[in-house]
Copies of this chain bind each other. A is one copy, B any other.
Amino acid sequence: MGTRVVEPGEFPFAAAFLEHNHIYGQCRGLVEAGAQLKWVYDPDAEKVAAFLRAFPGARPARSYGEILEDPAIRLVAAAAVPSERCALGILAMEAGKDYFTDKAPLTTLAQLKKARSAVRRTGRKYAVYYGERLHSECAVLAGQMVKSGAIGRVVQVLGLGPHRLGPVSSRPRWFFDRAKTGGILTDIGSHQIEQFLFYAGTEDAAIDMARTANRFHGDFPGIDDYGDVALTGANGALGYLRVDWLTPDGLSSWGDGRLVILGEKGFIELRKNLDLATGNGGNQLYIADSLGERHVNATGMTGYPYFAGLILDCLNRTENAMTQSHAFKAAELAVRAQMLAEEKKEERK
């Protein structure tokens, strides 16, 4: 899926810090767009071995430094422990590489300040894998449709991002540590906030409400299993998003991710990972407008143009795939929403 925009060898990159499996999606997207995965590094040899089975062309590096010292490397893709993503990214940028991190790209406003400053200082990119939009064909299609005016001006974006927690043993220890993940809104909420900004067509927003709750995981005080946020965009578009770690065992996907974009003249609903009890699979787009109701299986329709766009942005120093300010603004709002929800929780105590 996707267009190759570079010849073999034109865009060598490295994968480092394999703490989240998203690194596989990040690398697959880049490789499919023509990039060459040269190095892989993680302190855990088992993670590296598993990664090499998926990407046998990569070479294991002995250290992060070995990657940063290779002048051929254009970009470092990474999925570190969230609280460490910023510092590792700044190292990459200071070594002259662009950085492409899994979301959440950072976990505190202090990190954000450092990241923004490093981008200015180094001129490098701090790109973010907001995979729930970038790596979803129905989400890409919806973006094209909204841009073309299919539903008129956007009134509201409603995002549901439920996730399966799975067996506790399947999760790394940092997953249960608020200081490491940044919290549910910073982490999985950031996808939703990024989507709000994107589909609403706004580059800033006020947070009207944020809530988090740990309803059923009292043994793990470092997580919340529920969160939601309401936003008002600078252009007046409204947003509401809900995330949770409560996907039931019987669901055929890790989460029934939905997105509803309400417009002046119609609305679009995405059923991203499955179409409940239909067997249709994911990637389903539904639209109602002045002409009627339609259902589009978006699988195979769009590919994932973000990755080719990112490579070209790195080569040409442009911002067509995603602007730096958008990537950071989504992260900022996610962190601020988390902070607001935690303040409110404290007040209730």
**Which positions 231-256 of chain A face chain B at CB distance < 8 Å?**
232, 236, 238, 240, 242, 244, 246, 248-252, 256
Of the candidates B151, B209, B211, B236, the one whose C-beta lies within 8 Å of that of A215 is: B236
Q: Which residues from B are CB-within-8-Å of A153?
A: 215-216
B236 contacts A248, C-beta separation under 8 Å: no
Residues of A within 8 A of B (CB): 151, 153, 155-156, 158, 160, 162, 208-209, 211, 213, 215-216, 226, 228, 230, 232, 236, 238, 240, 242, 244, 246, 248-252, 256, 260, 262-267, 269, 274, 276-278, 286, 288-295
CA distance A108 to B215 in the complex (A): 35
A295 to B252, CA, bound (A): 14
Q: Is the CB of A228 within 8 A of B240?
A: yes
Q: For A155, what are the chain B residues with a Cβ–Cβ distance below 8 Å? A: 213, 215, 226, 244, 246
Please determine whether A211 and B236 come into contact, CB atoms closer than 8 angstroms: no
Q: Once bound together, how far apart are the Cα atoms of A294 and B250, in whole Å?
A: 10
Q: Is B250 touching A289 in the complex (CB atoms < 8 A)?
A: yes
Whether A246 and B264, one on each chain, are in contact in the complex, defined by CB atoms closer than 8 angstroms, is yes
How far is B292's CA from A277's CA once the two chains are assembled, in angstroms? 8
With beta carbons under 8 angstroms apart, the residue of B151, B156, B276 that contacts A242 is B156
CA distance A216 to B152 in the complex (A): 11
| Bound-state Cα–Cα, A251 to B263, Å | 13
The chain B residue with its CB closest to the CB of A250 is B292
- Cα–Cα, bound, A200→B217 (Å): 20
15 contacts between A and B (CB under 8 A): A153-B215, A153-B216, A156-B228, A158-B242, A211-B232, A211-B238, A228-B238, A246-B267, A248-B265, A248-B267, A248-B289, A251-B292, A256-B267, A269-B276, A277-B293
Report whether B262 and A244 are in contact in the complex, using a CB–CB cutoff of 8 Å.
yes
* A293 surroundings in chain B (CB, below 8 A): 250-252, 274, 276-277
